[in-house]
Amino acid sequence: MTESVIHFTHAVNVAPQSDADAIQKAVIDAIQDFGTEKFALSLCESRDAATNKLAA
Amino acid sequence: MTDTQNEHNIQIGGKHFIFKPFNQQTFTATEKAWLSDAQAGEAFVPDVLQGMAWAKDHMTLVDNGVAYGVFIDKAHIAIGICELVVTKPDVRGKWVKLLRLRVRPEIEELLFKNDPSALATAVNAYVCAVIGVYHVKNVHKATTIKVYARTQEQMRFLTLLVTKLNEQEDATFKAAIQGRWLTLNWKKHD
């Protein structure tokens, strides 16, 4: 599976932007270091539970 | 509090997302689509019903809880539903907590089929959820945001994320892990 590259830009709307930018950059960096696919699958609570239950 | 205050526009990689509470139109569209996904076998129907019931009861702040949706641009169907809690545990300030991000069942199903587009959508939904919580913190003049790890894998991710957050030179917050929570604390609200 090809890892998607998430290009960082910036969040808009509420000032100040520095902390929003910092958080967004940190989250994206962490996802890329963690492994984008592994991270995305960690969000699949209901599907994971369904799969486990159906397999049981 | 106006709708404009509650609606937060977030740009990621040139794509536009909106983090906002549900209204009747977006809730109905989201409920219909998510239930259809579940009935197609992409999730347990009772799980989806439970999540939608909570969202319906928390389209505004009720008993400290409020549901926010993550939307791609002007879409009415949410790609994610966030369960937020706004509390004031002591005199020092309010906390905004992200208890859970539910990803649309159809996207979860596609992730298990190694769909790159679904992968990007799920990741973007999470980024929007965390940035959205930060914006909600500002709206409520809170001093702390917390993100909960529901699984061990999420806990491992938050442990990595806290390091990345504390590496941000321009940031005015301090990040830490407290139990199963990622905590970002500001000395005072912005």
Residue B51 lies in a domain: yes
Q: Touching check for A14 and chain B: CB below 8 Å?
A: yes
The parent domain of residue B15 ranges over 3-141
Across the interface, which of A11, A18, A51 has its CB nearest the CB of B131?
A11
Predicted confidence band of residue A21 (pLDDT cuts 50, 70, 90):
very high
Tens-digit pLDDT profile for residues B27-37: 999 999 999 99
Across the interface, which of B11, B112, B151 has its CB nearest the CB of A47?
B112
CA distance A48 to chain B (A): 9
Structural domains in chain B (count): 1
Tens-digit pLDDT profile for residues B70-114: 999 999 999 999 999 999 888 778 999 999 999 999 999 999 888
Task: Find the closest chain B residue to A20 by CA distance.
Answer: B131
Residue B116 lies in a domain: yes
Do B21 and B27 contact (CB within 8 A), yes or no? no
* pTM tops 0.80, yes or no: yes
Residue B155 lies in a domain: no
Tens-digit pLDDT profile for residues B39-68: 998 788 999 999 999 999 999 999 999 999
Residue B190 lies in a domain: no
Residue B183 lies in a domain: no
HEC letters along B122-152 = HHHHHHHHHHHHHHHHHHCCCCEEEEECCCH
SS3 B62: strand
Q: Touching check for B140 and chain A: CB below 8 Å?
A: no
Predicted confidence band of residue A44 (pLDDT cuts 50, 70, 90):
confident
Token readout for B163 is 């390091």
Distances (CA, A) of B56 to A43, B21, B70, B102: 22, 10, 15, 14
Q: Touching check for B34 and chain A: CB below 8 Å?
A: no
- pLDDT of res. B4: 58
- pLDDT of res. B112: 87
Tens-digit pLDDT profile for residues B128-154: 999 999 999 999 999 999 999 999 999
Asked if the Cβ–Cβ distance from B157 to A14 is below 8 Å, we say: no
Across the interface, which of B7, B48, B131 has its CB nearest the CB of A24?
B131
Do B118 and B107 contact (CB within 8 A), yes or no? yes
